[in-house]
Amino acid sequence: MPRRIRRRIRGRFHHNCFKPCGIPRHNLDYEVLTKDEIEAIRLADFEGLYQEDAAKEMEISRPTFSRILNSARKKIANALILGKAIEIQNF
């Protein structure tokens, strides 16, 4: 069983779902981004921090940060390419 470590999440997110225009939500598949994944995207891509610095912000190791960031980017790319909705997990 994987251990769950509490991570520092500082971003405030004002929307919890994004979807393609013109398609009702109930007709779409979706990708769910965890709080960790959206925070990793915020730190690395929005704030422009290096992975080492972003990992320190989240109080996790750099390899763990890299895995979280790669997972988030894959989910976002999948949603954009395949026209899926993106949901942010209970923030």
Helices 51-58 & 62-82 angle (0-180, nearest 10): 100
What does pTM read for this prediction? Answer: 0.81
List, in order of start, the domains of the chain with CATH numbers: 17-88 (1.10.10.10)
Buried b (16+ CB within 10 A) or exposed e, 15-37: eeebbeeeeeeeebeebebbebb
Q: Which residues contact 11 (CB under 8 A, 6 or more apart)?
A: 38, 39, 42
Average pLDDT of the segment spanning 8-22:
74
Average pLDDT of the segment spanning 46-63:
96
Residue 78 has pLDDT above 70, yes or no: yes
Q: What is the DSSP string of 68-91?
A: HHHHHHHHHHHHHHHT-EEEE---
